[in-house]
Amino acid sequence: MTILVEIYYIVAETIAPAVHNYIAILTLDSLLAIFWLSAMSDSAALRTAFNIPIDYYYYNTQDLTQVNTYLDILAADAGVAGLELYV
């Protein structure tokens, strides 16, 4: 979605200024903000869904490392998205 919006911005500004519409740009920006907020909350909710100790179910060290890395990435994603919300 972001790529399509950016292509519209570039085309509207450079190639075809006749299709430049302020209401369309405002609508697209609002739509991207809504999608960003929903993705931020979804990644935070997904991270908090793992409240059972993971090492109880995984006996293979490599699997445990991969799961913990995935959970750390989810936590970092939710943290950065929350930080961007307040900056």
Backbone angles phi, psi at 64, to 5 degrees: -65, -40
- Which DSSP category does 50 fall into? -
Banded pLDDT at 57 (limits 50, 70, 90)? low
Banded pLDDT at 54 (limits 50, 70, 90)? low
Three-state SS at 9:
helix
What whole-number percentage of the chain has pLDDT above 90? 0
**Are 71 and 47 in contact, with CB atoms under 8 Å apart?**
yes
Banded pLDDT at 79 (limits 50, 70, 90)? confident
**Are 45 and 82 in contact, with CB atoms under 8 Å apart?**
no
**Are 36 and 50 in contact, with CB atoms under 8 Å apart?**
no
